[in-house]
Each structure stands twice: as structure tokens, then as C-alpha cells.
Amino acid sequence: VVASTGERPPERPYEGDLEAPIDDDLTLAARGHGLSGDDQRILAACAAQIGIAHTQGRLTRHAAETDTLAAAEHTRASLLLTASHDLRAPLRAAEEALVRLRPTSDGETRGIATARSAVRRATQLLTDLDDLSRLHAGALDLYLRPVDLDEALTAALDDLGTGGHTLVLRLPEQPPYVLADAALLTRVLTALAADALRHSPPGAPPTLTAEARRGHLTIRITDGTGPDTESDGSRVDARPDSLPLRLSRDLGEAMGGTLDHTTTGGAFSVTLTLPTAAHRIAPSPAGP
């Protein structure tokens, strides 16, 4: 019942003495004596007007809810941008102070290295938040073109630094070009590989495997955790909700791909699937 009036209004259309269908989902039903043909036409006209009013009211409520959600999203994005701007200065100051410190023992050297790593990690999280907000606001520019996976991986390994040297790569001899934004693809590969490296125990490096299939390329990154390695199960379960994975998933979808995750035998895998270009780009001829 959307609305009713009078004594003992019918709760179902078939409980009424009179019925005037409005559309497939809405019917005007009433109790009372029978109506003449003219009165039936008047009842049908009333039903049509009631249907229009009902639709307009529903659209108005939906618009109000949309405006409320948009305002809340705008407020959230503004808070994130403000927090990111305010936190960058103290993080930069902390990084500079750590660089100036001179350790006097191995313990202090390790402590300073850990602190610098944490500061860099916090700075990267702020960058991720900025990009996620810009992506959802439609303010993140995308330039989709055929991208060489080897070049994107080389750039990602450079961004990872020495830690990326422990990543095991299993690639086809000539992977097809993927349709992607080169900078964002490098960003996604770096984030996924860094996340896998953080959760892999010593001596069990993560593996990156690429496989060409009809019309797309799958890139799977699996960390080194497993049934024979120590792993915090609650941490593994929470990883799909981590900021790097959320950003990677949203960037992958923005480039026309998908990102899925699975946990098998204790190992956590993330699979990025991207469409491939129709043909590989031929190298430019050498100049004179």
C-alpha cells in the first residue's frame, strides 16, 4: 500500500470493489457501489493523475537522497585533501630530521632506517588518498594507449628500489601490449608488488606471473606466505580492504580492467586483468 484513505481501504487490489490499473506495479483500488461507464472513465483519469504524482514524488525523494550523498562525498573529499595537505609538512620535516641523525650503534641505524621507512610509507598513503579522491571525483586524467608490459615492469622495479630485486618474474617471451595508462599501470604494479613484499617472509619472495589470453593479459602477484610460513591470518583477511589494493582496483577498473584477489594455501594472490592491443607496436627504424 503506497497510500490510502477512507474507512477500511482495501489492502490488496482484489479486495476492492473497483480497480483501475495505473501501470505494471501500481493499481488504484476502492470499495463502494458500482460505477457507470462515465464514472469508470473518471476513475481511470484519477488513477493516471495519481500515478504521475507518485512518480514525481519518488523522483523528488531520489534527487534529495542523491544531493545528500553528493554533499557527504564532497565533504569527505575535502577533509581528505585538507588532512593530506596538513600532514605532508610534518612528514617532510620528520624525513629531513631522520636524514640528519647520525647513529652511534647498529641498533640506532636499524631504528632510523625503520623510522624513515615508516615516514615514506605514510607519505605514500597520503598520495594514494589524493589519487583515490581525484579518481572518484573524475579529476584524474587517463591516457589509454598500447603499453609494453616489460617497460612498465622495469619502471615499477625501479620505483621499488633494492626490495624489488627479490621479486620472482615469470613472463611470456613476448607479452602483448596492453591498453592502459603507462604511468598508472606502473603505479598499480608498484603498489601491488610492494604490498606483496611487505607480507612475504624472508626467504620466500613474492612471484609475478603474466599470462596472455584471448583479448586480455592477466598479471598475478602472489606473496610468499603459505602453510609452512608464519602468517597473521587476520592481517591477510584484511588486505583486500587496504588502501593500496583499493586504489589499484579502482585504477585498474578505470583503465577498463579488473582486479581480483584469492587466498590459496595461505598465500594471497592479486590478479590484474587488462585488455590487450590488437597488435604489438613495431619498433621505429634506426636513423642514419
State pLDDT tens for residues 257-279: 999 999 887 789 999 999 998 75
> Do residues 168 and 117 both lie within one domain?
no
> Do residues 159 and 193 both lie within one domain?
yes
Per the domain annotation, does 65 fall within a domain? no
pLDDT: which is higher, 253 or 161: 253
Above 50 in pLDDT, residue 183?
yes
Q: What number of CA atoms fall less than 13 Å from residue 58's CA on the CB side?
A: 7
| Confidence grade of residue 103 (pLDDT, cut at 50, 70, 90) | confident
Of 48-52, 169-173, 238-242, where does the model show the most confidence? 169-173
> Do residues 107 and 194 both lie within one domain?
no
Query: What is the spatial distance between Cα 174 and Cα 177, in angstroms, rounded to a whole number?
Result: 9
Query: What is the spatial distance between Cα 252 and Cα 151, in angstroms, rounded to a whole number?
Result: 18
Per cent of the chain over pLDDT 70 is 88
In this structure, the number of other CB atoms found within 10 A of the CB of residue 71 comes to 10
Query: What pLDDT sits at residue 221?
Result: 95
Above 70 in pLDDT, residue 135?
yes
Which helix H or strand E contains 276, and what residues bound it? none
> Do residues 197 and 86 both lie within one domain?
no
Per the domain annotation, does 252 fall within a domain? yes
Q: Is the pTM of this model over 0.75?
A: no
Structure-block grid coordinates of residue 13: 487490489
Per the domain annotation, does 62 fall within a domain? no
What number is the average pLDDT over the span 123-150? 83
| Confidence grade of residue 232 (pLDDT, cut at 50, 70, 90) | very low
Query: What pLDDT sits at residue 226?
Result: 63
> Do residues 153 and 257 both lie within one domain?
yes
> Do residues 206 and 224 both lie within one domain?
yes
Query: What pLDDT sits at residue 233?
Result: 45
Per the domain annotation, does 98 fall within a domain? yes
SS3 assignment, position 261 = strand
> Do residues 175 and 232 both lie within one domain?
yes
Which helix H or strand E contains 268, and what residues bound it? strand 267-275
> Do residues 197 and 264 both lie within one domain?
yes
| Amino acid residing at 158 | D
> Do residues 169 and 233 both lie within one domain?
yes
In this structure, the number of other CB atoms found within 10 A of the CB of residue 55 comes to 13
Q: Residue 175: which domain range? A: 145-275
Average pLDDT, the chain: 82
> Do residues 103 and 202 both lie within one domain?
no
Per the domain annotation, does 284 fall within a domain? no
Task: Yes or no: say if 206 and 222 are a contact pair by the CB < 8 Å rule.
Answer: yes
Please report the beta strands in the chain, taking only residues with DSSP state E, as ranges in sequence order.
Answer: 18-21, 27-30, 145-147, 168-170, 178-180, 207-213, 216-222, 258-264, 267-275
Which helix H or strand E contains 26, and what residues bound it? none
Task: Yes or no: say if 222 and 211 are a contact pair by the CB < 8 Å rule.
Answer: no
Largest CA distance in the chain: 103
Per the domain annotation, does 41 fall within a domain? no
| Confidence grade of residue 48 (pLDDT, cut at 50, 70, 90) | confident
* Count of structural domains within the chain: 2
Per the domain annotation, does 25 fall within a domain? no
Query: What is the spatial distance between Cα 118 and Cα 113, in angstroms, rounded to a whole number?
Result: 9
Structure-block grid coordinates of residue 192: 601491488
Last residue of a domain, one of 89, 119, 136: 136
Last residue of a domain, one of 136, 160, 180: 136
| CATH, residue 253 | 3.30.565.10
Last residue of a domain, one of 90, 113, 136: 136
> Do residues 129 and 245 both lie within one domain?
no
Of 80-84, 163-167, 179-183, where does the model show the most confidence? 179-183
| Confidence grade of residue 164 (pLDDT, cut at 50, 70, 90) | low
> Do residues 217 and 132 both lie within one domain?
no
